[in-house]
Structure 1
């Protein structure tokens, strides 16, 4: 008996985009229905669809049109088994949050950086998640089981936007992790001083006023989230940055911090990609047990040392004297059983 092809819905008022999306969906094994307006899409909803790709603006002369969100709303109400993907040339962080949280979109793709491969991989992920027949059903494997970590795994979430904080806390909580959510620099810094975490997820800009797509003349050091990276000791907690800032220079500078594992953009946020990144970050080789011997201050000195700073620069950064730095280094060398600064840098980078 031949299996029935999954049915897909394309909603876009641009004929060329309709054809592009139809081709990709047909190549993925779908039967495709197309609509150019909200009314046409609503009529086609009489038939269930497995997946829908919906343009945000369904009026070529009105770029402020948001009929695509109404299509998502109707799909959520009348065809809950349909995985919806919003496609737009006008993506913002707020739109991505709204489409995912309020309207139930699986993902938000931007037309200006659209690739066929990205959509095909997303479709593959959606179709592979279809329910199996009862006789083929196997126990669900949760993320913590995959990671072989227990429910005591602690994650620090630093995000001042309540919508994003809710989305991320829910995803992580459902995966079995303990989440400590913070909204400000001071609150997060206090948590870092008092507690240890297996992973941290932070937004670079902890101010809605500076939450745009680029930083302009803003230096990374002026961003509170970026400054928090200084609070993560070298060889310790990995960090996933989730930000609405897309400036390439900023991203490169962020990755220069040794503890940064990944940089995810809010405008193209995808739940499965996010959870997979969490998985990969937690699968990293943990810090050597010997680092547990170090005090909080010694870890700070060691990280600054790994950045190539001199004793004087370390002293200035930590507001201590150079003699105090020397005492810390002597203690660090003894605990790690090394004798030189170069050996300390190699140890923190996992080279020895």
Structure 2
């Protein structure tokens, strides 16, 4: 039996945790759920997570909180971002700067479950390619040194 790909879900709102976890599990993924920066970093260090789904604000009720951006910077892997607080310019900057591969607004998420799963799947393809490329470079350097 093939092992399910593991996705890290970083979301502070319980209702969104349940909904996104349900969608991801129905899509065939194993999901690790955390609700804060510290736990997200711990999971990233301890588990073979290749994609993260991250809410930008991890402090309930604080529209100005951006702890999720710190998780994205720390992750070093493809990120699908969800948020109910980001403005259009912030979203453009997030995507332009490569902090996230995809963005989904919570206000207009209904009906976009398949698109969300497609974004996670695409992000996994990107992650696999990046890992493969890193190994190719390492192998090239080892062969060049004669190791």
TM class by shorter-chain length? 0.7 to 0.9
**How far apart, in 1, do the equivalents of 2:116 and 2:59 lie?**
23
Deviation of residue 116 (structure 1)? Answer: 1.4
User: Does the Cα contact within 8 Å between 2:81 and 2:100 map onto a contact in 1?
Assistant: yes
Which of 119, 123, 126 is residue 123 of structure 2 equivalent to? 126
Q: TM-score scaled to structure 2, two decimals? A: 0.76
TM alignment of 1:91-170, pairs within 5 A: 91-114=86-109, 115-128=112-125, 130-131=128-129
3-state DSSP class of the match of 1:86? strand
Per the alignment, residue 298 of structure 1 pairs with none
Match of 1:70 in 2: 70
TM superposition score normalised by structure 1: 0.34
Deviation at 1:109, TM superposition (A): 0.8
**CA distance in 2 between partners of 1:126 and 1:15 (Å):** 24
Instruction: Return the alpha-carbon distance in structure 2 between the equivalents of residues 63 and 91 of structure 1.
Output: 8
In the aligned structure 2, how far is the partner of 1:45 from the partner of 1:67? 15
What secondary structure is seen at the aligned counterpart in 1 of 2:4? Answer: coil
Output one character per residue of 1:184-229: Cα deviation in whole Å (capped at 9) or x when no partner: xxxxxxxxxxxxxxxxxxxxxxxxxxxxxxxxxxxxxxxxxxxxxx
Number of residue-to-residue matches in the alignment: 126
Q: CA deviation at 1:35?
A: 0.7
User: For structure 1, which runs of at least 5 residues remain unmatched after alignment?
Assistant: 77-81, 135-352
Matches within 5 A, 1:263-278: none
2:28 paired residue number: 29
SS at match of 2:104: strand
Question: 3-state DSSP class of the match of 2:82?
Answer: strand
Stretches of 4+ aligned residues off by more than 6 angstroms: none
Unaligned stretches of 5+ residues in structure 2: 133-147
- 2-side partners of 1:104 and 1:57: how far apart? 14
Aligned-residue CA RMSD (Å): 1.9
User: How far 1:118 moved relative to its partner?
Assistant: 2.1
| 1:296-334 deviation digits (Å, cap 9, x = unpaired) | xxxxxxxxxxxxxxxxxxxxxxxxxxxxxxxxxxxxxxx
